[in-house]
Structure 1
Amino acid sequence: MPFVDLEYRAVKPALMLAPFVESFWMLVNPTDVAVPVVLVPDGRVDVLFCFSAEAPYRVLLLGLQNRPEDQVISPYSTMFAISCTLLAVEYLLPAQGGSLLHDGRELPDDYLGMSAEDLRNFDRFCANASARLTHALPNAIDPRKRTLFALLYASGGSRSVQALAEAAGWSPREINRYFTRLFGLSLKAYSSILRFRATWPQLKAGHLYADGDFADQAHFIREVRKYTGAAPKQVARNYDDRFIQFSTLPEK
């Protein structure tokens, strides 16, 4: 089933929300056919507002993944989402009570004051979600965490734990304790996911060789296989748009 049968849009948040929200996006399957896809780790935590012909409206909080996962996009389904950074997990999302690694939680149907009616118009959804999230922003953020995450995302996971710790004024041991407790994996493991994600445009363009962020070609192949379950050549071909996150990358 080609990706062209699905409807996809994404928009960036306002500058004030950018440390917490990576994007708002929608995915609609207007057909009567279930679409099999592979979800690969992307370093995001998602809040999903969704319904389909098979399931009523619900709101889900989906945590981090560190391995590929087969999923199906249901027939006649609509999904609007807020993709969040890790900083949002502590300061903005209702994610208390342990890490969100490989975990999904039901949120109240009225989370952020939303309802199924808000899934009729994506622009209105983005405006309403932005307003309510902005209202919920914390008054203060630990400056070490703000610096750490800003550098982490800006580098695409390429900076070492030691370099990030020195820049943030926070010991590597304390950082890893924080990451493991709240997110379920180490900073090094999370950086590896971000480094893999940074390869998506090159893989989509058919560039199948390691760049400067990998030790060598063998390391590059291992990382791609680890996070997709396939060789770089198979990912680049992306038959039937199975790797859906690659299919939604903007064309250059």
Structure 2
Amino acid sequence: MSNNLEYRIVRPGKPLSDFVDSFWFLRNLSDADKDTTGLPDGLIDILLFKSATQPFSIAQLGGLTQFEQAKVSANSVIFCISFKLLAVEYIFGEAIANIVNGGRFLPDGYWGFTENDLLDFDCFVEKATQKIKSLMPEDIDERKRKLFELIYVTKGTITVKELSGKVFWSSRQINRYFNQQFGISLKAYCNILRFRASLEHIADGRLFPEENFFDQNHFIKEVKKFSGVVPKELSKNKNDRFILLSAIRQK
């Protein structure tokens, strides 16, 4: 990644991947803050962070439903675990509905993490993996397991009605579960996943709908809603403004 930003991502295998999407780090090696635009990706993050001017801290982010202007601080490093929604109930054991589009600081020593964990990303991944495995439940509600499996396999292009029929759980109950646990409706979450999947195509310069949008106008409207810009401008990604898109191009 250019502009003095260093990025790396690691994806886990089964069974961790039922709960964790990825581990990643981001470093700003320059003496200047980096302006960025955060994009919704449907994930919940646990971050370890420090910079030249900010002390070590641990935080949980509740996920974005809209784009957000932000800065990557000068001379900073972020190590992150990005979780799928199933982790909210079964790993955290606490709803995140009240921190959607926000976050909260976690106590020092959360999950045994310290500032020294920022010295070695591979060791961080191993430590985090062992901790998460220790928290994984023996049993999961089969309806919820299948629900999320279908949502992710279809990249959000499946309807609430279809999901309800396949998991034998009413649409009303599913939406109540989503709103109480995650602070977002199932349909809204699926729209975020569909947008996220579209970034793969936009990163390759394919600026036409490929993820079950009604038409080109609908595609443009949805991309602009979630990113603040039309697909063409998003694809240009001037100055690596959209770090998520830059990371996709690195794969």
- TM-score, length-normalised on structure 1? 0.96
217-226 vs 87-96, which deviates more? 87-96
Q: Percent identity?
A: 42
1:231 correspondence with 2:227: no
* Alpha-carbon contact 1:204-1:236 (below 8 Å) kept: yes
- Find the counterpart in structure 2 of residue 147 from structure 1: 146
**Which aligned pairs between 1:176-191 and structure 2 lie closer than 5 A?**
176-191=175-190
**Which aligned pairs between 1:35-50 and structure 2 lie closer than 5 A?**
35-50=34-49
* Alpha-carbon contact 2:197-2:211 (below 8 Å) kept: no
* Alpha-carbon contact 1:99-1:181 (below 8 Å) kept: no
Alpha-carbon spacing, 1:71–1:94, altered in 2? closer, same or farther (3 Å): farther
Alpha-carbon spacing, 1:135–1:99, altered in 2? closer, same or farther (3 Å): same
Residue 232 of structure 1, CA deviation: 0.8
- Find the counterpart in structure 1 of residue 101 from structure 2: 102
* Alpha-carbon contact 2:33-2:72 (below 8 Å) kept: yes
**Which aligned pairs between 1:92-171 and structure 2 lie closer than 5 A?**
92-93=91-92, 95-96=94-95, 98-171=97-170
| Corresponding letter in the other structure for 1:146 | R
* Alpha-carbon contact 2:97-2:179 (below 8 Å) kept: no
For residues 15-74 of structure 1, what are the alpha-carbon distances to aligned partners after superposition, in whole Å with 9 as ceiling and x for unaligned? 111110000000011211110000011100000011111111110000121111011000
| Corresponding letter in the other structure for 1:244 | I
- Find the counterpart in structure 1 of residue 201 from structure 2: 202
What secondary structure does 2:79 align onto? strand
* Alpha-carbon contact 1:57-1:109 (below 8 Å) kept: no
Alpha-carbon spacing, 1:77–1:94, altered in 2? closer, same or farther (3 Å): farther
Give the Cα separation in 2 of the matches to 1:202 and 1:102: 25
Residue 112 of structure 1, CA deviation: 1.3
What secondary structure does 1:236 align onto? helix
For residues 81-120 of structure 1, what are the alpha-carbon distances to aligned partners after superposition, in whole Å with 9 as ceiling and x for unaligned? 0000000011112534744311201111211111000110
Residue 124 of structure 1, CA deviation: 0.2
Paired residues in the alignment total 251
Residue 139 of structure 1, CA deviation: 2.1
* Alpha-carbon contact 1:100-1:182 (below 8 Å) kept: no
- Runs of 4+ off more than 6 Å: none
Structure 1 unaligned blocks of 5 or more: none
